Structure 1
């Protein structure tokens, strides 16, 4: 068997194209464009590249991009004061503080300072609670992007056996909640799960988000399963995922590549969340199934 390659890059490009049309419709109705504010603290090269990519994608979609760059030595109170100003700014619909932050800043304090209704990253405890209890809120971008890819490939997910490998607040836990919401039978596994291979082998859906290169072996994959690889690991061989791609692709029904799979979906969903926030804040109606 040779797995179908799930092209996240192509899916994200098409999705952003549809979003641009909806952004234009919103702007016509609200007399303003949606606005996304991104805060970068310090000069981490990977974060800087990511922030530039977000800004470029935001402007390409017809949204306003507000970038705030602060030195790595900035005091926590100064960063919190900026968040307060963005919370109060009517032109800002979404706020994203790029992680990680320097060690002297408490990330949890900063995240919880963001207005939950502008928390387009979906990291605020209020939004985590909304997701867990089935209420409307913002979902972290990467797991929501994964769900979009899964539903595009498989359609109805009800009754499927899903294993999420990883238990982070950013990917693993919200991914499991989303799959539960689709009526999957969900197992959360991690690096300390006993007999992990047997747990993975029974899954119709495997979402790997553990942060270890090629940890998930091809022989662990159930024939015909759909594999979503969230991992991005730098190795001597270049960027690789958490799944042994060559081995898994020989047995899976479909698999995301690294790069070009899940990664492009994260920014696309960030734009989607910002547009949803703009609609809610401006009281401009939209069809929920369209975003």
Structure 2
């Protein structure tokens, strides 16, 4: 008798996080101290506090130091400047939302690029959208990417949605992906990253649908965005190999009857955007990504510390050369 149970594989974030943590631990062994991450909590949002607590727990359990500083939001700007100037602080994370408007975007730019573990500084955001993957011309120092979008990328790599036979940077060629959410913090950056890696991305928001793509045959160097008047989620889901949803409202649910049979479904909202019946149609379902996001945050911190150590080593090598040049001219 045939087995009527769904063949969907449910993949938990904890299992994916473990593989990333091994990479982080290897990098930490080459550093002779615990990198210090300072978190700033100026929000009454319960989700922000939970995220802060998870961050501290994961950091402390994995060889990092963590301090949570609860600051009145009107004093946060000065507190960030102080942390920028404190040599003991290696990384800074701010738990948003705070003001819930453009002032939050301003605060993101206060954090020094040398301590911005969230990848929200202008240079990092510019690099991400322009598909510039390194900070230096020698391509040795990788740029830092926003944590939640990067966590989704790492999940897709773990699930082997990325085709490793193809060249790095083109490994989503042939994949059609729908991202439901176009926030400036997660949805839009995620659509850009996926398209920069070669995917054809439908970016679905409450008002419209946009397509992010590097063109036919991925001939463009970076993604372009095309408005698609008249297109709706009903047109996108049946074509999509992967559906990624992050709608914050508890009432929104992805219309499962529109899913392509065997689609990969990932939820990055704090709410469940997929009902349990998703397992009847999806081949793989990732119900939450929070633990991966925190490990990616620590990975970003490690990268910042490594960049700092390499910069100091390069400066010390240049100094004797400069001294010799001075001696030769005297």
TM-score greater than 0.5 by the shorter chain? yes
Q: How does 1:161-172 map to 2 (within 5 A)?
A: 161-172=176-187
Q: How many residue pairs align between the two structures?
A: 266
Q: Does 1:88 align with 2:103?
A: no
Checking the alignment, whether the CA contact within 8 Å between 1:204 and 1:226 is kept in structure 2 is yes
Checking the alignment, whether the CA contact within 8 Å between 2:265 and 2:285 is kept in structure 1 is yes
Find the partner of 1:242 among 269, 273, 288: 273
TM score, norm. by length of structure 1? 0.84
* SS of residue in 2 equivalent to 1:283: helix
Q: How does 1:51-62 map to 2 (within 5 A)?
A: 51-62=52-63
Find the partner of 1:7 among 5, 12, 18: 12
Identify the residue that residue 289 of structure 1 maps to in structure 2: none
Structure 1: how far apart are the matches of 2:196 and 2:12?
A: 24
Q: Does 1:131 align with 2:128?
A: yes
* SS of residue in 1 equivalent to 2:30: helix
Shifted more, 137-146 versus 84-93: the winner is: 84-93
Checking the alignment, whether the CA contact within 8 Å between 2:149 and 2:186 is kept in structure 1 is yes
Shift of residue 20, structure 1, vs aligned partner: 2.4
Identify the residue that residue 273 of structure 1 maps to in structure 2: 300
TM score, norm. by length of structure 2? 0.74
* SS of residue in 2 equivalent to 1:116: coil
Per-residue CA distance 1:24-57 (angstroms, 9 max, x = gap): 2223xxxx32221111115544322321221121
Identify the residue that residue 48 of structure 1 maps to in structure 2: 49
Checking the alignment, whether the CA contact within 8 Å between 2:43 and 2:96 is kept in structure 1 is no
Shift of residue 146, structure 1, vs aligned partner: 0.9
Checking the alignment, whether the CA contact within 8 Å between 1:201 and 1:222 is kept in structure 2 is yes
Say which structure, 1 or 2, has more relative contact order (CA 8 Å, 6+ apart): 1
Unaligned runs of 5+ in 2: 1-5, 135-142, 164-171, 209-230, 313-330
Checking the alignment, whether the CA contact within 8 Å between 1:40 and 1:98 is kept in structure 2 is yes
CA separation of 1:103/1:229 partners in 2, compared to 1, >3 Å: closer, same or farther?
A: closer
Shift of residue 210, structure 1, vs aligned partner: 2.4
Shift of residue 265, structure 1, vs aligned partner: 1.0
Structure 2: how far apart are the matches of 1:279 and 1:227?
A: 34
* SS of residue in 2 equivalent to 1:170: coil
Q: Does 1:68 align with 2:69?
A: yes
Per-residue CA distance 1:261-281 (angstroms, 9 max, x = gap): 312111111101000000001
Structure 2: how far apart are the matches of 1:189 and 1:46?
A: 24
Q: Does 1:218 align with 2:224?
A: no
Checking the alignment, whether the CA contact within 8 Å between 1:111 and 1:124 is kept in structure 2 is yes
Q: Work out which of the two has the higher radius of gyration on C-alpha atoms and give 1 or 2.
A: 2
Checking the alignment, whether the CA contact within 8 Å between 2:37 and 2:90 is kept in structure 1 is yes
Structure 1: how far apart are the matches of 2:101 and 2:188?
A: 26
Indicate the RMSD between aligned Cα atoms, in angstroms: 2.2
